[in-house]
Amino acid sequence: DTEVTQTPKHLVMGMTNKKSLKCEQHMGHRAMYWYKQKAKKPPELMFVYSYEKLSINESVPSRFSPECPNSSLLNLHLHALQPEDSALYLCASSRNLGQSEKLFFGSGTQLSVL
């Protein structure tokens, strides 16, 4: 299994809603990532987890709250988002944080904030 699975594929939410994005991999990878990608722009790193601990937070607003409950799962909890947060949210994983490691990406969650 070389897949990173993200759910849901599409999400529409209001600014007062609370929702969660989920990411799962069964490749035994110990590093997992959240990226945000606006239309026709490159992905931007948000968070990195290594061995279930938050390793990097790229100064992301607190309305985005990551969680890594175990080595296979990565969640992104969303609360009080703004319309400008609408984007494709991509999860990725790699064997570890070593710089020679390839990243495997999921298909993403297309988020629209109304």
Partner 1 sequence: KQEVTQIPAALSVPEGENLVLNCSFTDSAIYNLQWFRQDPGKGLTSLLLIQSSQREQTSGRLNASLDKSSGRSTLYIAASQPGDSATYLCAVSPGAAGNKLTFGGGTRVLVKP
Written in H, E and C, the secondary structure of the chain is: CCCEEEECCEEEECCCCEEEEEEEECCCCCEEEEEEECCCCCCEEEEEEECCEEEEECCCCCCEEEEEEECCEEEEEEECCCHHHCEEEEEEEECCCCCCCCCEECCCEEEEEC
Specify the residue, 53 or 102, whose C-beta has the smaller distance to partner 1.
Answer: 102
Q: Least Å distance between CB 6 and partner 1?
A: 8
Q: Is 100 in the site for partner 1 (CB under 8 A)?
A: yes
The verdict on 106 binding partner 1 (CB under 8 A) reads yes
Chain positions contacting partner 1, by CB under 8 A: 4, 6, 31, 33, 41-45, 48, 55-56, 88, 90, 92, 94, 97-108, 110
